[in-house]
Amino acid sequence: MKKIEEPQFDKRSIEEIIALNGRKPGALLTILEEIQESNEFKFLDREAMEYLSDRIDIPLSRIYSVATFYSFFNLEPQGKYTIVVCRGTACHTKGSKNLLDQLFLLPKCKGAFESGESSFTTEDREITVKTVACFGQCALAPVVAVDGVIYNNVTTGQIKAIVKKIEEERDNENIKL
Ligand code: FES
pLDDT over 90 at 170, yes or no:
no
**How many angstroms does the Cα of residue 89 sit away from the middle of ligand 1?**
7
Structure confidence at residue 171 (pLDDT)? 57
Residue 135 beta carbon below 6 angstroms from any ligand 1 atom: yes
Residue 154 beta carbon below 6 angstroms from any ligand 1 atom: no
**How many angstroms does the Cα of residue 105 sit away from the middle of ligand 1?**
23
Q: How far, in Å, CA of 70 to CA of 72, rounded?
A: 6
- Shortest-distance Cα residue to atom 1 of ligand 1: 88
Return the CATH architecture of domain 81-168.
3-Layer(aba) Sandwich (3.40)
pLDDT over 50 at 9, yes or no:
yes
Structure confidence at residue 43 (pLDDT)? 93
Residue 137 beta carbon below 6 angstroms from any ligand 1 atom: yes
Q: How far, in Å, CA of 115 to CA of 144, rounded?
A: 23
Residue 86 beta carbon below 6 angstroms from any ligand 1 atom: yes
Residue pLDDT, tens place only, 90-121: 999 999 999 998 988 887 777 777 776 778 88
Residue 109 beta carbon below 6 angstroms from any ligand 1 atom: no
Give the mutation target among 84, 85, 86 for probing the ligand 1 site: most ligand atoms within 8 A of CB: 86
pLDDT-derived band at 4, boundaries 50, 70, 90? low
Burial label for 98, CB within 10 Å (0-12, 13-18, 19+), is middle
**Ligand 1, closest atom to CA 90?**
1
pTM here is: 0.77
Mean pLDDT of the chain: 87
Quick one: what percent of the chain has pLDDT higher than 70?
90
Structure confidence at residue 17 (pLDDT)? 96
pLDDT-derived band at 134, boundaries 50, 70, 90? very high
**Ligand 1, closest atom to CA 91?**
2
Average pLDDT of the residues in 34-55: 93
- Please indicate whether residue 175 or residue 100 has the higher confidence score (pLDDT): 100
Structure confidence at residue 5 (pLDDT)? 59
Q: How far, in Å, CA of 49 to CA of 130, rounded?
A: 23
CA distances from 71 to 2, 35, 59, 77, 131 (A): 30, 15, 21, 14, 11
pLDDT-derived band at 1, boundaries 50, 70, 90? very low
SS3 86: strand
Among residues 8, 54, 53, 6, which one has the least CA distance to residue 32? Answer: 53
Structure confidence at residue 126 (pLDDT)? 87
b/e for 39-69, b at 16 or more Cβ within 10 A? bebbbbbeebbebbbeebebeeeebbebbee
Query: Where are the chain's structural domains?
Result: 11-69, 81-168
Q: How far, in Å, CA of 37 to CA of 147, rounded?
A: 14
